[in-house]
Structure 1
Amino acid sequence: MPSSLQPAAERHSVTVLGLGPMGRALAGAFLAAGVRTTVWNRTPGREGDLVERGAAPAASAEEAVAASALTVICLVNYDATDAVLRRPAVTDALRGRTVANLSADVPDRARDTGRWAAEHGIGYLDGAIMTPTPTIGTPEGVFLYGGPEPLYLEHRPVLDALSGSHTHLGEDIGRAAAYDVALLDIFWTSMSGYVHALALARAEGITARELAPFAQGIGAILPPLFEEWAGDVDDRTYSGEGNPLTSGLSTMEHVVHAAEGHGIDASVMRATAALTRRAVDRGYGADGFTRVTELLDLRRGE
């Protein structure tokens, strides 16, 4: 049944599948906004306080999705979502309804799920949550979506109940997951660098608390560089003015030398230095660090 023909109560309600920390936060935000919310979890027992706040518990996933025009699912990955959504009874119950998948996985898996949904007459939006659980239901929450724009606009009033910013990235089902993995790359690479710095500092008798204020200063340098370097990469200018690769390579080698002198694993920095040296050896020593993006793309034959 097309959503426009579904009862108004269904169109102004939501089902949340998955009641881990993020799923519970999503359900709680919907409830706080006054959206009629049905909940279900693979392991019973997590819905208690949500039910006390007004959520309707469902005995099965098929019963849950039948209660609303929009189902929001948030599980650990797409193996888990497939195990729920692709069960025949659940698939049948979803026909003519919409799924917004806010689980985390890779773009190809998102596109595969989009094809599966289309084959079974199910509306599908693939999304990514870019902020932690405490931000859900607050202005600080950030949500990204890929998929048919009319479908996104149709369900935007319910999704807006989560508060925060909501951005539709285009028709490509895998677009949100692509942003997600790229942004997670920034986060985890940065966190790897930070914990390595803390280990190196500790070896030199500097506590983590002593280093932290100066680490925050390094962090403050990054946002303008993100903007500047984005232009370098898109325009393929790779400017090294002020900090050419030859200079950067020297500082990387200092980190490696100091870390390994204390018996600290420096494999991540060694890998970065090796990429930088390869660029220098190919004649790019006067370029900026953004030149390394070309070497990382193995399809380009660099």
Structure 2
Amino acid sequence: MSHSSLKARRVSVLGLGLMGSALAEALLREGWDVTVWNRSPGKAEPLIEKGAGAASTAEEALEASDVVLLCVTNHLVTMDILGRLKKAGYGPNRTLVQLTTMTPQESAGLAAWSEDRGLEYLEGSIVGVPENVKEQGANIVCSGPKAAFDRCEPLLRSFGPALHLSEEIGAAVNFDRVYYAFAYGALLSFIQAAALCQAKGFSQDVLTQIILSRWNRVGERYREMGEKIAKGDHSVSQARIAIWAGGYEETLALCRETGVCDALPSAIMDNFQRAIDAGYGDEELTAVAKVLLPDR
């Protein structure tokens, strides 16, 4: 579906914090006609200088475009803004794309609010930071009506690849939580290694260089592991859990030797031990998933 499927390529952005401003900047770069609004009008000035139009009210911003991206602090701020709108209904083919952090229950309530006013509702999770959005290097994971996603997908591509996860409202919100389980763990694991580097007097540059040189191989390993977990096939392809655990015991010992906090390594080691205690020590690392899942 082409950009022309959205009338006059018009889009409004409500909320101009770091992420909202990045969204507006990316849309301007891609040639969209962007209207911006923020509770603190001064935040709109840099975007106006780059070609954005300024709405004096949230109502005016919503009226200005076929698609409205909502990216504010939280659900309370969202409903405070939307609760001030005076109009009871809007014309057809106008979509509210919710990109604010909120719970699945809050998103469902906002979907009902939108439906009552004739708005299509699409929920999105931004996988990435503002700089990624500006560079078209984020991922946008959406849930809600597939037709609404198809209509908005050319616009969402301004920020990076856009994917439709499910028609179920709340799915994208929950996916955000799923991704954080990986992203935060990966970031904190890097910080743990960096702290050990510092404690031993090693170069941080060497650590970073090694990690980056292995990045593509590690990415392929994630793909293989995901397939194994999905299939429930934990046959050994690299090493048994018992081998992985033996190696990681040395990292835990180094933390204790150097006085570096061992809370994260201890939690990781606990997962290894739980898998071994459950009888999975001779299976591949992915078998740890079996002791993480609830009993069925």
Q: How high is the TM-score relative to the length of structure 1?
A: 0.85
The answer to whether structure 1 residue 172 and structure 2 residue 175 are counterparts is no
Rounded to whole Å, the distance in 1 between the matches of 2:89 and 2:16 is: 20
Instruction: Report % sequence identity.
Output: 27
Secondary structure at 1:232 match in 2:
helix
Rounded to whole Å, the distance in 1 between the matches of 2:152 and 2:176 is: 21
Q: 2:295 is matched with which residue?
A: 300
Higher mean displacement: 259-268 or 127-136: 127-136
Rounded to whole Å, the distance in 2 between the matches of 1:134 and 1:151 is: 26
> Would the aligned equivalents of 1:62 and 1:93 in 2 still touch at CA under 8 Å?
no
Cα gap change, 1:231 to 1:31, in 2 (>3 Å): closer
Rounded to whole Å, the distance in 2 between the matches of 1:220 and 1:10 is: 41
> Would the aligned equivalents of 1:238 and 1:290 in 2 still touch at CA under 8 Å?
yes
Count of aligned positions: 291
The answer to whether structure 1 residue 262 and structure 2 residue 258 are counterparts is yes
Letter in structure 2 aligned against 1:246: A
> Would the aligned equivalents of 1:11 and 1:70 in 2 still touch at CA under 8 Å?
no
Rounded to whole Å, the distance in 1 between the matches of 2:214 and 2:263 is: 22
Rounded to whole Å, the distance in 1 between the matches of 2:97 and 2:248 is: 43
Letter in structure 1 aligned against 2:289: T
Rounded to whole Å, the distance in 2 between the matches of 1:108 and 1:238 is: 36
Q: 1:242 is matched with which residue?
A: 238
Higher mean displacement: 184-193 or 25-34: 25-34
Rounded to whole Å, the distance in 1 between the matches of 2:156 and 2:278 is: 50
Letter in structure 2 aligned against 1:208: Q
The answer to whether structure 1 residue 128 and structure 2 residue 115 are counterparts is no
Q: How does 1:41-190 map to 2 (within 5 A)?
A: 41-85=38-82, 87-89=83-85, 92=88, 96=92, 97-136=94-133, 138-160=135-157, 162=158, 164-190=160-186
Letter in structure 1 aligned against 2:267: A
Could you tell me which runs of 5 or more consecutive residues in structure 1 were left unpaired when the two chains were aligned: 1-7
Q: 1:5 is matched with which residue?
A: none
Shift of 1:286: 0.6
Q: 2:22 is matched with which residue?
A: 25
Higher mean displacement: 171-180 or 136-145: 136-145
Letter in structure 2 aligned against 1:276: F
> Would the aligned equivalents of 1:137 and 1:164 in 2 still touch at CA under 8 Å?
no
Q: Deviations over 1:248-278 (max 9, x none)?
A: 1112221111101111111111111112111
Q: 1:288 is matched with which residue?
A: 284
Q: 2:193 is matched with which residue?
A: 197
Rounded to whole Å, the distance in 1 between the matches of 2:207 and 2:9 is: 50
Secondary structure at 1:92 match in 2:
coil
* Aligned equivalent of 2:35, options 27, 31, 38: 38
Rounded to whole Å, the distance in 2 between the matches of 1:220 and 1:33 is: 29
> Would the aligned equivalents of 2:8 and 2:33 in 1 still touch at CA under 8 Å?
no
Shift of 1:17: 0.3
Rounded to whole Å, the distance in 2 between the matches of 1:249 and 1:182 is: 25
* Aligned equivalent of 1:233, options 209, 217, 229: 229
Secondary structure at 1:103 match in 2:
coil
> Would the aligned equivalents of 2:140 and 2:156 in 1 still touch at CA under 8 Å?
no
Q: Deviations over 1:42-76 (max 9, x none)?
A: 22201112223332212221222122221111123
Rounded to whole Å, the distance in 2 between the matches of 1:23 and 1:242 is: 43
Q: How high is the TM-score relative to the length of structure 2?
A: 0.87
Could you tell me which runs of 5 or more consecutive residues in structure 2 were left unpaired when the two chains were aligned: none
Q: Deviations over 1:5-39 (max 9, x none)?
A: xxx99663111001112211221232333322211
Letter in structure 2 aligned against 1:78: H
Q: 2:10 is matched with which residue?
A: 13
Shift of 1:99: 0.4
Rounded to whole Å, the distance in 1 between the matches of 2:274 and 2:6 is: 61
Higher mean displacement: 76-85 or 261-270: 76-85
Secondary structure at 2:124 match in 1:
strand
The answer to whether structure 1 residue 274 and structure 2 residue 274 are counterparts is no
Once superposed, what is the RMSD of the aligned Cα atoms?
2.5
> Would the aligned equivalents of 1:294 and 1:300 in 2 still touch at CA under 8 Å?
no
> Would the aligned equivalents of 1:17 and 1:41 in 2 still touch at CA under 8 Å?
yes
Rounded to whole Å, the distance in 2 between the matches of 1:79 and 1:23 is: 17
